[in-house]
Each structure stands twice: as C-alpha cells, then as structure tokens.
Amino acid sequence: MKFGARVAIGVSAALVVLMLAGVVYVSAFVGWGPGRAEPGDVVGTWTGPRGAQVTLREDGSAAATKVPGGYSGYHPAHAFSGEGTWTLRKPTNSLAEQEIQVEVGTGAGQRATIELVVDGRGARNGIHVPVSAESALGIDFRKAS
C-alpha cells in the first residue's frame, strides 16, 4: 500500500473517532435527547404566546390561562383557562419524552387535559405543547418564576 493511501486511511479513522466523541459530548453535556425533570424543576409559572400561562404548584395544583386547546394546522384554534392538578409522568423508556399532564376544570362540569413535554435536562429549555404526535413543532412555554 502506498504511503499516501495509509495517511488517508489514518486521517479518515481519526476524523471518525473525533466525530463520535463530539456526538457523545453533545448528548451527555449539551442535552441532545429527550428532556428530563424532577417535580421541583417544573414548579412555577410558565408563559407562552398570546398570553398563555401555566402555573404548576408544589402541592400538585395547577392553573391554566389562555392555553391552546386545539389547532388549525399549526396555529392554536381555541384556548382554555381553569384550575386543576398536574402530574409529572415518568418516561416509558430512555428515548421517550417526559410529559407533564395538566387537567383543569374549564366550566360547569367541563374539564380539559393538556400534555406538556419537558425540553432539556431540568426543563432548562422550557416546556411545550406538541402540535401533533407526528410533528416536532409545538407551543413553547418559558419559566417566568
């Protein structure tokens, strides 16, 4: 084998190792992968677009204000408000997204349930309401307090 071919193979192997190390670093330290949180990470008030707000209290109670309850394409179709409860669900496996289920009363005998997805480790990238199961798009909420 010629010297140039050996050098090319060596350089290629080194680049593959560096790329794999970068992927491991990013997934372990930067936060690629599904979000994970503890209850204390998500307690507080979260604000979203158009005045949407979700408050998750330490005692498991919740309040929702102008939270999107449906979609027309990728745009919120209607919103709801109310008081209720929240639960931080355990992920079903290591690749599953962790969800927060919020259930609130919206009127006389009516209830609404919303699933919020945790973004980043400790919800540091916020939480969001997915537009659909097939889409990565969602309505983003950021922690206000």
The rounded Cα 120 to chain-centroid distance in angstroms is: 7
Residue 111: C-alpha distances to residues 26, 56, 124, 133 (Å)? 41, 17, 29, 22
Q: Which residue has the tokens 């109670």?
A: 61
Under 8 Å between Cβ of 70 and 77: yes
Give dist(CA 21, CA 32) in Å, integer. 14
Main-chain phi, psi angles of 2, to 5 degrees: -75, 155
Retrieve residue 75's tokens.
């745009």
pLDDT tens for the chain, 145 residues: list them. 576 656 556 656 555 555 544 444 444 444 457 899 999 999 999 999 889 999 999 999 999 999 987 777 667 678 899 999 999 999 988 888 999 999 999 988 899 999 999 999 999 999 998 876 666 667 899 999 7
Under 8 Å between Cβ of 66 and 78: no
Give dist(CA 46, CA 145) in Å, integer. 7
Report pTM. Answer: 0.72
Under 8 Å between Cβ of 18 and 64: no
